[in-house]
């Protein structure tokens, strides 16, 4: 099995829009896998570090997309995606996208926004996949992301070699379905973080060692990646952001909006959206989403 460094260059040229916490390591992996990569970021200095990996730094989304066979988007939210694709006048990405090229939106946005973007791009002959990811910055750096893909099966098949560099992709349905899967992921993650935080706080306040409690229930029905990774963060009080609290709240609100659109009640998600809202309002926005532990501690008058 060849390593990333020894893979032959691909004839496909890639564009990546948004080199933040996720986009930067993903662009780096793609460049190191041999793909010609053109990148754009609103704050250009954040993209310039990729020049050392062979990426071409571009001044506008249009410039980055020009000549690209596949464009990947790692932007903040659906409104920003729409602005970068269509709302920057002559600099918009849509003016650089060639007919027949493929846009893969890997941001976490509302399913209806993904469907609307796909329809709008189709009018100029551009194909679209929504392919949000889970796994955080650790997964982006290691190439172990879970990738949830919505759109045409044929387009997902073309994108498979790119997805393989970044992690494990699963096609889950038509346009918007990738975003539905990501909302499901974020609902489960956000709610489970709350359960782990509250349980460890109970143990700590009752006199048990939360680190030992976490160890004791490992391997049982309560075990999970949330318990292992975020539970450890809680034990260590280490809330340096991987996925920020504010982003978790954005995803829960997107889940609420989508549930309302399809006529579904989501009372558990509603309650946790209130908890994350309270955490943000009390200054925890920049903490990792496992920092919900800090909000629950605050509510109980604990350090």
Which amino acids are annotated catalytic? 182
> Could you tell me if 74 and 107 are in contact, meaning their C-beta atoms sit under 8 angstroms apart?
yes
**Buried-exposed string 275-294: b where 16+ CB fall within 10 A, e elsewhere:** bbebbbeeebbebbbbbbbb
How is residue 198 written in tokens? 């509250």
End-to-end CA distance of the chain: 50
- DSSP per-residue letters across 249-293: HHHHHHHHHHHHHHT---HHHHHHHHHHHHHIIIIITTSBGGGHH
In Å, the largest CA–CA distance within the chain is 64
Q: Provide the CA 54 distance to its chain's centre, in angstroms.
A: 24
CA separation for the pair 67, 83 (Å, rounded): 21
- DSSP per-residue letters across 8-69: PPPS--EEEE--STTHHHHHHHHHHTT--EEEE-SSHHHHHGGGGGTPEE-SSHHHHHTT-S
How is residue 176 written in tokens? 């918007």
The CA-atom distances, in angstroms, between 49 and each of 5, 57, 202 are 18, 9, 45
């Amino acid at each position: 099995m060849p390593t990333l460094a020894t893979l032959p260059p691909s004839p496909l040229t890639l564009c990546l829009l948004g080199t933040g916490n996720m986009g930067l390591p993903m662009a780096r992996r793609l460049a190191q896998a041999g793909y010609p990569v053109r990148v754009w970021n609103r704050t250009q200095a954040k993209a310039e570090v990729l020049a050392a990996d062979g990426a071409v730094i571009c001044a506008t989304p249009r410039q980055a997309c020009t000549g690209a066979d596949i464009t990947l988007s790692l932007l903040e939210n659906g409104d920003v995606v729409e602005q970068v694709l269509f709302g920057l006048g002559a600099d918009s990405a849509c003016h650089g996208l060639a007919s027949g090229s493929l846009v893969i939106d890997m941001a976490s946005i509302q399913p209806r926004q993904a469907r609307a973007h796909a329809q709008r791009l189709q009018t100029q002959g551009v194909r679209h996949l929504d392919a949000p990811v889970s796994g955080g910055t650790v997964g982006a750096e290691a190439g172990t992301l879970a990738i949830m893909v919505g759109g045409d099966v044929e387009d997902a098949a073309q994108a498979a070699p790119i997805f393989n560099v970044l992690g494990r992709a699963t096609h889950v349905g038509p346009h918007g379905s990738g975003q539905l899967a990501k909302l499901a992921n974020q609902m489960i993650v956000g709610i489970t973080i709350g359960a782990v935080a509250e349980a460890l706080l109970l143990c700590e306040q009752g006199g048990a060692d939360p680190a030992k409690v976490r160890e004791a229930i490992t391997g049982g029905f309560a075990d999970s990646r949330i318990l292992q990774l975020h539970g450890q963060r809680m034990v260590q009080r280490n809330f340096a952001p991987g996925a920020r609290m504010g982003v978790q709240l954005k995803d829960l609100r997107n889940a609420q909006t989508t549930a309302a659109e399809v006529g579904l009640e989501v009372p558990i998600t509603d309650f946790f959206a209130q908890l994350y809202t309270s955490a943000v309002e009390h200054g925890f926005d920049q903490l990792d989403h496992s920092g919900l532990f800090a909000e629950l501690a605050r509510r109980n008058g604990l350090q």
